[in-house]
Copies of this chain bind each other. A is one copy, B any other.
Amino acid sequence: MAGSRDAEAGDARAARRRIHEVVLAHIEDQIATGTLKAGDRLPAERDLATALGASRSAVREAIRILEAMGTVVQGTGSGPDSGTLLSAVPGAALTHLISLHVMLASIDTTDVVRARIALERESTRLAAKHARPQDHAVLAEHLTAMAAPGIGVAEFNDLDTAFHLAIAEAGGNVLVAELTTALRTAMRPTLLRALQAVADFPSMAARLAGEHQAIHDAILAGDGDLAAARVEAHIDGFYSAARPHRQRR
């Protein structure tokens, strides 16, 4: 049935839908109905192709999309790690998506900041309620690392991200945590530029460290509202301070 352009059946009336979209819909349908679930293995590309009457290229394009969405991982060779498996790791995909759109300027950075604040207020409030000792340990660890004298801009920023992410994870809401990471990561280049433009980085680092400490304290105290307010002030304050340095282009 390969090269049959001759109108396979009566379904030809449908709009010219690309084949890989049909394949994609087929797979997503099985996901929606529970026929396929995380951890399952998809049929081999070749089998899927013949089963759906499509070419392997079409199947591959569909799988490529699923992979980009973070719902599938592929491995070569044989064995348990080979083949196409349904995973469920939205983080990287989300980050990729947001980053692309920030780069394309289809999303304004101030919008990202506001969204971050909204999400982190929530995750911080959750963290204040649910954080366990080990979560606090992680946070404290990041705080210590950030206090290292002579720390570089990039390292500081990455620790900063890790700190905020740890809060989100302590909150226990997977989606909020993933979104927080995605937004924070998407802003990384912007943040680095801003930090590098800061005249007195050490004092800026000290100020941010102090704010982080205050946030942690509020979380430790279980005061969600206070922690949330401090997070908002922390994020908002930094961007307000950094924004004046506008890069050309």
Contact = CB atoms under 8 A, between A and B. Distances in A.
Interface of A: 20, 28, 31-32, 34, 37-38, 57, 60-61, 64-71, 86, 88-90, 93-94, 96-98, 100-101, 103-108, 111-112, 114-115, 117-119, 121-122, 126, 173-176, 178-179, 189, 249
A20 B64 contact: yes
A60 B56 CA distance: 13
A34 B247 CA distance: 13
A149 to B, nearest CB: 33
Nearest to A179: B115
B71 A101 contact: yes
A70 B174 contact: no
Given A90-B97, A111-B176, A115-B176, 11 more contacts: A31-B100, A31-B104, A34-B249, A64-B68, A68-B68, A69-B97, A71-B101, A90-B106, A90-B107, A106-B174, A114-B126
A114 B123 CA distance: 9
Contact of A37 (B93, B105, B107): B105
A70 B97 contact: yes
A59 to B, nearest CB: 11
Contacts of A67: 65
B69 A28 contact: no
B97 A37 contact: no
Contact of A179 (B108, B121, B179, B189): B179
Contacts of A189: 32
Residue of A105, A117, A126 most packed against chain B (CB within 10 A): A105
A115 B104 contact: no
A185 to B, nearest CB: 14
B111 A173 contact: yes
A203 B204 CA distance: 56
A90 B86 contact: no
Contacts of A178: 107
B101 A90 contact: yes
A32 B121 contact: no
Contact of A122 (B34, B60, B117): B117
A111 B174 contact: yes
Given A90-B97, A96-B69, A97-B90, A103 B249 contact: no
Contact of A88 (B57, B105, B174): B105
A100 B115 contact: no
